[in-house]
Structure 1
Amino acid sequence: MITLKLAREGNYETVTLRLPTTPGEVGEVFATLDAATRYAGEVQITGVDSGVPSLAKHLKGADLTDPDAFDKLNRLSEKIDGMDERQRNIFSGALDAESVSSLDDALRISDSLEAYTFVPNVRSDEELGRYVAVAGQIHGDRRFPEEAWPYLDFTKIGVEYYAGHGGAYTPSGYVMRREAVQEQTQGTKSVFELYLLHGQIRYRLDLPAEEARLEAAKRSLGIEDFAQAAIYRTRCGMDPLASLLPMDCVSVEDANELARTIREMPDGDLLKYLAVLSVEQPADFPGALRLALELDDYERITEGAYEYGQSVLQRFGADEELISVIDGYMDFEQFGEDSMKEDGIRQTEFGLVRRLSSPFDGQTPVQQMF
């Protein structure tokens, strides 16, 4: 059973209504409010007693002008009456873990309690960390050796697990979506890990990700757009890329596009991208993404000065026969070194690289390599 306290907007006079109810009883309550307040403001829910701890804050904004509002409230009350204590605990946590903006949302969640996992008596990051360490093989996580427990930072373990799986803490335990667990334990090693926060909900998103996974992440966070969530931590899972990428101004969309672009790069292009990053040193993440998308404007040089001199001649129109004829009469190596300077080639730990559209500024001498 749900018991509501109702009041007219802007007034303190309240009337109690027990659910399930009838249209006649609703009419009597509205008439009582009218007589007590003499004010035509909308009727609002100001208090809820239901046996589901988090339900009150989610029902207080319910639109009671909806002609079906009390039918929906009756259905919700009947559903709660049919729940056992464990299901009520799951329902409470699921309401906090999801985005609830209407009675329809609350009813939808009440119909899908099997989509959630409940861990009793886990109410904080530290308690969750201890559970992860002690319980062992839960949801694909590896068991921590007992000898290591005295040295473990349980709070940090809990934070990491919470960030990766989302959910919500309740007075009775921890509730999370089962699909959030499955998504994060499937697939290949990620390029980026983004740790997202919306309200009290934290979520770790591994990238690249397909559209279905991105939509599931939004549902877990209770948002419609990733701009509504804060990115409070980032991690690049590829060395040495991690040391070259600026993570300022990162967004989920940009990170996913760059992760997908990097995943699809041939090995040679990845080395070229690393060389370009080390020279261009973009100021922020969008700049790094732009360089990846414009990678055709760069060339990674894998040859020495001698061969480069010959390739420059070919660029000017000389064929192999002509180059063979002048071989022995031309210092290809010196010509190659001079051409490298003119082309603005830069030396990096990933090889030589040049920009095709215009030479790099502030050249680093390359002759030290020869």
Structure 2
Amino acid sequence: MSVNARKERIFEVELSRWNPSGTNPSAEITLPATPYELADALERAKINGDTVYSAEVLSCKLDYLPQFIAPDANLHELNHLAQRLSSLSAWELDCFEGMVMMDAVQTQYAPIPVERLINMTHSTEHCQIAYEAHDDPSLGKFYADNDFVPALEKVSDEVYEYLDFGKIGREMREGEGGVFTPHGYVVQNGEIAAEYHSGDALPLEKPDYAVLLRITKGHFNDPAYDNETAVFLKLPAGDAALLQAVDAVGAASPEECAFSSEDCMAPILTEKISDALYASEGDCYGLVNELAEQLRRIHDKHNILSYKAMLGEAPGDISLEEALDLSLVSEDFSVIREAANPADYARFVLSKYCIEQESELFASADLDGYGSKLIQGKGISLTEYGVLWSLTGRTVEQYLDQPSQSLGMEMK
């Protein structure tokens, strides 16, 4: 597990793109996610622009919630909901469950728009919870014991024992519109807020960093020295920006700071960067900044997808130095996004030729077997981003075996 402290995960989601060819690319993502993680999931599922896709919630920290989320939910809005839920206290989450159940009762358990669910997270202040009440009798007794029923204030103790608490509780629940949840009775005494409006969570532009670092003042376990101040540093950055961030957390030098990675243009490297910074106590900051510069360069040359596919083919224990080596030769690779499997690759290759009755051929031919034959021995790999094609015929593993040669080739 990474040393990088991340918000508690709420949803496991599968993105699926509708594809008329019959192959439906998909990708899984855990929410809440960072901006680059969201973009990466959409790329892995071959989703862009106005592409029609579904977002199926596979699992959720709140096990009652997935049934109320329609599969056509927007990923960015679903992520915003996850961010809101991850910030709520236990009491607020109990209130949220009550509001969801109130809607469910009124709509016969129909899906609830994500916009409304987000606004429910802003409306907990209007809720009350009776943790002692789990049915009408216990609710009625709770109201009677706490003098919430004015008509019972003058009832003698002898008569009190004969009261029909179930009837009292039912009348109060039906009058208030409250609901029972596994945690108790929840009632809302106000309207659902209108803090969020549909579309507010959609990104207007891409992040202006390649790597986002979180900087705090050391990990010295000394209450007199440590503080909870944290600042974020966008990489690549110059020395002045680093020193400004160090000063902002009250440290005298970078050596007194703790660094972790919050987001990265290549999300597979995020935790690896945090782990490396933690293990070296920030000594590899220069390496991380250099890697960020390379990521920016690769992005500007529109080759970031190839680099992410290359990292996906590299061993899981690849070092940051090796990741930097691969970044220097990313232009030796290309990704065919249209191809997610051998059959797709066969269609891609054959589409370059003028073939009579092409659709009939594709319907009857063993495209999967043909595609597999084409892939073998050509330095081609199937990745989540598409078919990774080596322009030199050398695989990612072969480049990693000779990093110095790779660097020399790039620097000529």
Range of TM-score over shorter length: 0.3 to 0.5
Larger RCO, structure (CA 8 Å, separation 6 or more): 2
**Higher helix fraction: Structure 1 or Structure 2?**
1
TM-score (norm 1): 0.39
TM-score (norm 2): 0.35
Larger Rg over CA atoms: 1
